[in-house]
Structure 1
Amino acid sequence: MSDRLPGFSTLAVHAGAQPDPTTGARATPIYQTTSFVFNDADHAASLFGLQAFGNIYTRIGNPTNAVLEERVAALEGGTAALAVASGHAAQVVVLQQLLQPGDEFIAARKLYGGSINQFTHAFKSFGWNVVWADPDDIASFERAVTPRTKAIFIESIANPAGSITDIEAISTVARKAGVPLIVDNTLASPYLIRPIDHGADIVVHSLTKFLGGHGNSLGGIIVDAGTFDWSTGGKYPMLSEPRPEYHGIRLQETFGNFAFAIACRVLGLRDLGPALSPFNAFMILTGIETLPLRMQKHCDNAKAVAEFLAGHPAVASVNYAGLASDKYNRLARKYAPKGAGAVFTFSLKGGYDAGVSLVSKLQLFSHLANVGDTRSLVIHPASTTHSQLDDAAKVKSGAGPDVVRLSVGIEDKEDLIADLEQALGA
């Protein structure tokens, strides 16, 4: 190619991949192996000592996974990436590099219910403490900062509400506090929003959702923006202090603007072990090739469905940032001009019982706990994904008792609207 920077669709198909040098295979092969042969003893020693890059053991890295990592890093505009077994695994590995027992991180209240549960309960056993802030009140993030704060965590498009977060404003808070901003970009995908362009230092995804896109493979990924100075103030010893397991090297000094991705691999993935299967990496890579086509169709369908619901007498309200009347429409036009995503919620006048009833009457929409599939999906969060929260917390997270969440797929929009119409009528 010429020196011009490839476009998004080209990167989605080609980034990180080359024909297999041995067989000439054009599709990235599945390297279904646990381990790799060393050239000699010196080669093995240099790999284990982080003096050379290469493959050792699939728990730490694999050639199929490496293509996936390079591709997502290119799409997000990052310096490097690490693929792991799930989105939840990505969050654990990221925060393990940043937090010591007793440390805090600030998180937006509007998050996926599983993340709220993970942050509130599971992380307590590590001694990591979450402090909640309101993404609609940027000052609440400033008020939450303490000397123990080590990171800020938000979603670009919040799950389940579909609200748009003001990434740049919260990035300013993070910069002032001297901590990295972590953005879960799962619902937007880099096709709609690239958080690094707006001040994010770390991006995470559940690859299970829109990037994979077909509801067949679990995966997660961490993207290092290469923008944060990990040596400042001694806050992040995992990166700035000598590592005894690697003969005293300092990751920040040795690896520069991709030190965080290296730390996640050699200190997190190596020891915690949430490795991504090469087969799943292959499936997700295949999905990413059609990401631009799918995401635009998702967004176009979602807007049509939201407009239909907004005019239906059984619907109390629709929360979709793509609607001109929505409170997040200004932020959607700023951050996601190609579309406001495919996941949103609406409230039914019949309350909790109407929500439970609706999901049982839909025929084309599948009732299950996932988003980002080619198929349209529906769930009643208050009775499922957010059921562990009390009523007040459900409402704060956008999952009140009358709320239904849709993940709009790529079917014909007329068929989706007809299915909703018959279910609402019933």
Structure 2
Amino acid sequence: MSPALDAALLVAEPASYDAILLASFGGPEGQDDVIPFLRNVTRGRGIPDERLEEVSHHYRANGGISPINAQNRALKAALEAELAARGIELPVLWGNRNWDPYMPETLQGAYDAGHRRLLMLTTSAYSCYSSDRQYREDIGMALTSLELDGKLAVDKVRQYFDHPGFVAPFIEGTAVSVARVRAALAAAGTPDAPVHVLFSTHSIPTRDAEAAGRSADEPRTFEGGSAYVAQHLAVARVVMDAVDPSAVEGTDFSLVYQSRSGAPHVPWLEPDINDAIAELAEAGTKGIVVVPLGFVSDHMEVVWDLDTEAAQTCAELGLAFDRAPTPGTHPKFVAGLVDLICERTVEHHIAKRPALTELGPWYDTAPANCSENFRGAKPAIAEHGSTVGLVADPVGAAAAGGS
């Protein structure tokens, strides 16, 4: 049996919640915000402002504004509309890890408004430290600093990488993008030229990847040595299998990575998308379709790293290029997120937990020693329960482990 299907790792009973907490990364809203924002993102790493200025050019080129905040506002509004349409009376609150509205302010506002139990929905679908446990650490530290431990409970929905609502927009978008690239090649007189689909996601340190999905009590192995890698590969196969076979006949695909930001001597997941494009061109590929499989919305790492840098690499190599959209506020995605909320609520409860890969449905509570924080122990909320659980040990009890 898949560990994700182990009943001990699922929440047995739904609960009543006062509000939904939409948790995201955050981004600058103007030129003056860029360096302060990057300081927030890199806090504790000792990176000087001179280096931050070097990496700020993609924000500067966009007026210092990250698309992510506007996208979160749109997602919040879409969630509110879907909840209202179903008669679910839960307000949607919004808090960011790295920019206004900051998480502590959102939590304090929730408590002041009389809320005592929140259900958190993050804009990260896959399993690794930065996309799951770090959010719960931020909540745990905020509750501690606000002295709200035991007063305000925050639970979290499962990682939803293979939920139909998240995957469906990628299936639709991949089919459209492949058709566009093939049309471009046909117009150029090479209708049968090789086309390759690159499923792209954020690169992370190899050590963090290997810790994702790991259990000290039940050693597990994943394709690619990581739950993070295995989840992306599994979803990529689902997408390709779901697209009309005639549309993707003879089209290869692979998983690539982008947006690496670590020191050169620290191993991160590879290959980089631009390196992969160059190798494919050398091997005879004439068309590239990029599917940003690791991302929920078209934020800066999609707009810059894919629409700018990857597109430029293809142009320089004479390759046809198209990029599939992210889920954004796609109706199926929004409906799927509300379904995830209903999995955990007493009111409007949905007992069935759909999953499109054999890895899912992913668990609500993670096994011990999973996605540990190698940078130092921090308190983190448990993923479920009627009270806030705080642990300082990053390899602590199962109820507080990351996924």
TM-score by length of 2: 0.29
Higher relative contact order (CA 8 A, sep 6+): 2
TM-score by length of 1: 0.28
